[in-house]
Structure 1
Amino acid sequence: MGLRNTLIVMALLLSVSTVPFSGAASLKSHAFFNETGELPCHFPNTQNLSLDELVIFWQDQNKLVLYELFKGQEKPNNVHPKYIGRTSFDQDSWTLRLHNVQIKDTGSYQCFIHHRRSQGLVSIHQMSSDLIVLANFSQPEIRLIANQTEKSNIINLTCSSTQGYPEPQKMYVRLNTKNSTSNYDAVMKKSQNNITELYNVSISVSFPIPPETNVTIFCVLQLEPTEIILSPPYNIEIIKVEGKESEQTEKSSHMTGEPGGLPSMGSHRVGHD
Structure 2
Amino acid sequence: KSFLNHTAYLSCYFPNSQKTDIKDLRVFWQKGADEVVHEVYYGQEKHDNLSPKYINRTKMDMDKWTLQLLHAGIVDEGQYMCIIQHRDKGSPKVIHTSECLLHIIANYSQPEIAWLHTGELKPNEYLNLSCSSSGGYPEPKQMIWLISHENTTDRLMRHMDVSQDAVTKLYNVTSRLNITVPTKTLINISCLLHLGEQLGSLVSVPVGI
TM-score by length of 2: 0.91
Aligned amino acid, residue 72 of structure 1: G
Query: Which of 206, 216, 221 is equivalent to 2:188?
Result: 216
Equivalent residues, number: 207
Matches within 5 A, 1:193-232: 193-224=165-196, 227-232=200-205
Aligned amino acid, residue 228 of structure 1: S
Structure 1 residues 176 and 75 mapped into 2: Cα distance closer, same or farther (>3 Å)? same
Aligned amino acid, residue 9 of structure 2: E
Matches within 5 A, 1:148-163: 148-152=119-123, 153-163=125-135
Query: Which of 94, 113, 116 is equivalent to 1:123?
Result: 94
Query: Which of 70, 76, 80 is equivalent to 2:41?
Result: 70
Q: Assess if the C-alpha contact under 8 Å between 2:12 and 2:65 holds in 1.
A: yes
Q: Which has the higher helix share?
A: 1
| 1:98 maps onto 2:64 in alignment | no
Residue of structure 1 equivalent to 2:103: 132
RCO (CA 8 Å, sep 6+): is it higher in 1 or 2? 2
Q: Assess if the C-alpha contact under 8 Å between 1:172 and 1:185 holds in 2.
A: yes
Give secondary structure in 2 for the equivalent of 1:76.
coil
- Structure 1: runs of 5 or more not aligned: 1-29, 237-273
Query: Which of 80, 90, 103 is equivalent to 2:51?
Result: 80
Shift of 1:183: 2.8
Aligned amino acid, residue 97 of structure 1: Q
Shift of 1:58: 0.2
Higher Rg of the two aligned structures: 1
Cα distance in structure 2, aligned partners of 1:229 and 1:104: 25
1:172-192 Cα distance to aligned partner (Å, 9 max, x none): 321111132223332211110
Residue of structure 2 equivalent to 1:9: none
Q: Which has the higher strand share?
A: 2
Residue of structure 2 equivalent to 1:107: 78
| 1:235 maps onto 2:173 in alignment | no
1:156-214 Cα distance to aligned partner (Å, 9 max, x none): 21100111122112213211111322233322111101122111000122211322222
Cα distance in structure 1, aligned partners of 2:76 and 2:18: 34
Residue of structure 1 equivalent to 2:144: 172
Structure 1 residues 57 and 225 mapped into 2: Cα distance closer, same or farther (>3 Å)? closer
Shift of 1:50: 1.7
Give secondary structure in 2 for the equivalent of 1:77.
coil
Cα distance in structure 2, aligned partners of 1:121 and 1:225: 44
Matches within 5 A, 1:1-20: none
Query: Which of 141, 158, 174 is equivalent to 1:186?
Result: 158
Shift of 1:154: 3.0
Residue of structure 2 equivalent to 1:50: 21
RMSD: 1.8
TM-score by length of 1: 0.71
Q: Assess if the C-alpha contact under 8 Å between 2:111 and 2:202 holds in 1.
A: yes
Cα distance in structure 2, aligned partners of 1:230 and 1:114: 50
Dislocated runs of 4+, deviation >3 Å: none
Cα distance in structure 1, aligned partners of 2:113 and 2:50: 47
Shift of 1:225: 5.9
- Structure 2: runs of 5 or more not aligned: none
Cα distance in structure 1, aligned partners of 2:13 and 2:196: 31
